[in-house]
Amino acid sequence: MNAIEVQNLTRDFNGLRAVDGISFEVQPGEVFGFLGPNGAGKTTTIRMLTGQLRPTAGTARVMGCDVVTQRDALKPQIGVVFEYQNIYERLSARDNLLFAARLYGVPKARIDAVLKQVGLDERANDRSKNYSNGLKQRLLIARALLHEPKVLFLDEPTRGLDPNVARDIRAFVTDLARQGVTVFLTTHYMEEADRLSDRVAILHKGKIVALDTPARLKAARGGEQTTVAFSSLEDVFVALTGSSLRQTFEE
Ligand SMILES: Nc1ncnc2c1ncn2[C@@H]1O[C@H](COP(=O)(O)OP(=O)(O)OP(=O)(O)O)[C@@H](O)[C@H]1O
Ligand SMILES: [Mg+2]
């Protein structure tokens, strides 16, 4: 079974087609990089795949669960870390996790394990209001992992973090994948996407314009294997998505 199966997934917002008929599959234990310019439709896709937003058309299954009709079965299978997500700032990390553990029916013993896993054990009893961005992000990841999800959705998990924390989080993603967790990752850091992802999809104006391993994307030009390859995933990204600003100015 595929961990994620998406067919012709589409979402409109008052006449704007934010996600435009995308289809792809993700294997269990795969790190799937989901890239695209600002406004390409990445977060909208994650919201649909996690049962938070109804598709306008198309279907998606995560761990076999239809994201519209089987949301109750879907929930325990997935963990989600969003940009601008809420934590209870008046509570410590431990109490935030205790609260989430009760919601999910997770045994309390799991909290210490997860705090250690994300490197939050030393600050676990401090008020999370005083945490740095890096600590807050660790807490969000801990909360997403509490119930041992099979698929983890990470929406820009290293955004705005210092290189040390970002590296910790990347190492962490690799570990999870090794343990068989499927990771659906969005990021604007092309180096990070290149290093972490087994395969990468590039989304542009709601459509998938490329989907392959980072190595093959870099080796190809116009879909052809040529001697003039791209030197980085950033070059691939810019070649496929970078003309929109220029066009806007020319119009
Ligand atoms: N709730 C909403 N109502 C109206 N329009 C929306 C809504 N959510 C997203 N959009 C629009 O849908 C498009 C895709 O947005 P989305 O947030 O999915 O992009 P993104 O790829 O995650 O971008 P970024 O890299 O900036 O996070 C944008 O044009 C956005 O303005
Ligand atoms: Mg987004």
Which residue carries 């999370």 as its tokens? Answer: 128
N-terminal to C-terminal alpha carbon distance within the chain: 47
- Pocket residues: Cβ below 6 A from ligand 1: 13, 16, 18, 36, 38-44
pLDDT band (50, 70, 90) for residue 251: very low
In whole angstroms, how far apart are CA 84 and each of 129, 155, 220, 239? Answer: 14, 10, 36, 30
CA of 187 to the centre of ligand 2 (A): 9
Q: What is the pLDDT of residues 154-207, one digit of tens each?
A: 999 999 999 999 999 999 999 999 999 999 999 999 999 999 999 999 999 999
Q: Which domains does the chain have, with CATH numbers?
A: 4-250 (3.40.50.300)
> Percent of the chain scored above 70 by pLDDT?
93
User: What pLDDT score does 245 carry?
Assistant: 53
What's the distance, CA 27 to chain centroid? Answer: 15
- Check pLDDT > 60 for residue 41: yes
Q: Tell me the mean pLDDT in the region 39-44.
A: 98
Name the token pair of 118.
């994300």
Atom of ligand 1 nearest to the CA of 36: 21
Name the token pair of 46.
């994650």
Pocket test for ligand 1, best of 9, 14, 43, 189 (most atoms within 8 A of CB): 43
Q: Decide: 80 and 153 in contact? Cβ < 8 Å.
A: yes
pLDDT band (50, 70, 90) for residue 220: confident
User: What pLDDT score does 12 carry?
Assistant: 98
Q: Tell me the mean pLDDT in the region 53-59.
A: 98
- Other C-beta atoms closer than 10 Å to the C-beta of 211 total 18
CA of 221 to the centre of ligand 2 (A): 27
d(CA 62, CA 42): 16
Q: Decide: 146 and 97 in contact? Cβ < 8 Å.
A: yes
User: What pLDDT score does 100 carry?
Assistant: 93
**What's the maximum distance between 2 C-alpha atoms anywhere in the chain?**
60
CA of 92 to the centre of ligand 1 (A): 32
d(CA 92, CA 146): 16
Q: What is the pLDDT of residues 63-83, one digit of tens each?
A: 999 999 999 999 999 999 997
Question: What letters, b where the CB count within 10 A reaches 16 and e where it falls short, cover 128-154?
Answer: beebeebbbbbbbbbbbbbbebbbbbb
CA of 189 to the centre of ligand 2 (A): 13
Q: What 8-state DSSP symbol labels residue 162?
A: -
d(CA 61, CA 23): 11
CA of 10 to the centre of ligand 1 (A): 13
CA of 101 to the centre of ligand 1 (A): 31
- Check pLDDT > 50 for residue 52: yes
- What average pLDDT does the chain have? 92
- Check pLDDT > 80 for residue 226: no
Q: Tell me the mean pLDDT in the region 115-139.
A: 93
pLDDT band (50, 70, 90) for residue 228: low
Going by C-alpha positions, the residue among 71, 40, 44, 70 that lies closest to residue 55 is: 44
Q: Whose CA is nearest to atom 4 of ligand 1?
A: 13
Residues with Cβ–ion distance below 5 A, ligand 2: 42-43
Pocket test for ligand 1, best of 16, 20, 22, 44 (most atoms within 8 A of CB): 44
Angle between helices 133-145 and 109-117 (to 10 degrees): 130
